[in-house]
Amino acid sequence: MSQITIESPKHCANKQGLKRFERNYKKLFFAFSAFFTTILLLILLIYLILHPSKPQFSLKELDIYQLNLSGPNLNTTINLTLLSKNPNQKVSIYYDEIVVYGSYKGQQITGDTYVPPFYQDNQESNLLTASLVGNGLPVSPSIGYEFGRDQSSGRLVLNLKANGKLRWKIGTWVSGHYRFNVNCVSFMAFGPSSLPSASPPLASKQGSQCSTTL
């Protein structure tokens, strides 16, 4: 025995209305997805066409006022000036975070110094100054030996490093954060009487190009 179900006209109308709603919803979803995908592809295309070049840094001046090893601890006072340049013609840069510190023979010899965030327009250059200080920093016992070797050779080699976060700005579009690292190498005349306290300071104004990685 079969069962016959008779649907009312009202029920049929509801089912047809639901189907129309589902069709319209799918059309709206696909249209929104296509629009969103097009925008993303357009942004990616602009980015690939412009392809921002990484910023350029150079060390313009370095002054060492103190580099005093007392037992296993090191006291340092270093002032430096960095030149930051944006080589891009159509891309600006937001520097949201920059931390600068000094390094010797692979060991950090100053505390971290934070440079205030700034905005850099296309092909713009900015001078950044920082005072690097280290009070009683624990260092490896080999540091004293390395100082002695450098004094004998008459040349001190220091690394001045910076790292932080930046964002690219292309038109009205701003990218997410990218981490960057800067390494500057400074060669300075270094004799037996140069340290522990330098007055006038041990200085280098020759300048040197720095390497930048993203």
Cβ partners under 8 Å of residue 2, min gap 6? none
The two structure tokens encoding residue 138: 């624990």
- Cα–Cα distance measured from residue 134 to residue 9, given in angstroms and rounded to the nearest whole number: 86
Provide the CB-side half-sphere exposure for 206 (13 A, CA).
Answer: 10
- Cα–Cα distance measured from residue 86 to residue 91, given in angstroms and rounded to the nearest whole number: 8
The pLDDT tens digits of the residues spanning 12-31 come to 555 555 556 566 667 777 77
The pLDDT tens digits of the residues spanning 187-206 come to 888 766 555 555 556 777 66
Classify the C-alpha dihedral 140-145-149-152 as positive or negative.
positive
Q: Where are the domains of the chain?
A: 8-51, 56-213
Return phi, psi of residue 110, to 5°: -140, 165
The two structure tokens encoding residue 108: 């950090």
The pLDDT tens digits of the residues spanning 73-123 come to 889 999 999 999 999 988 999 999 999 999 999 999 999 999 999 999 999
Count other Cβ atoms within 10 Å, centred on residue 92.
19
Mean pLDDT lowest among 7-11, 34-38, 93-97, 115-119: 7-11
The two structure tokens encoding residue 170: 């292309």
**Predicted TM-score of the model (pTM):** 0.74
- Cα–Cα distance measured from residue 174 to residue 94, given in angstroms and rounded to the nearest whole number: 9
Give rounded-to-5 percent helix, strand, coil for the chain.
25, 50, 25
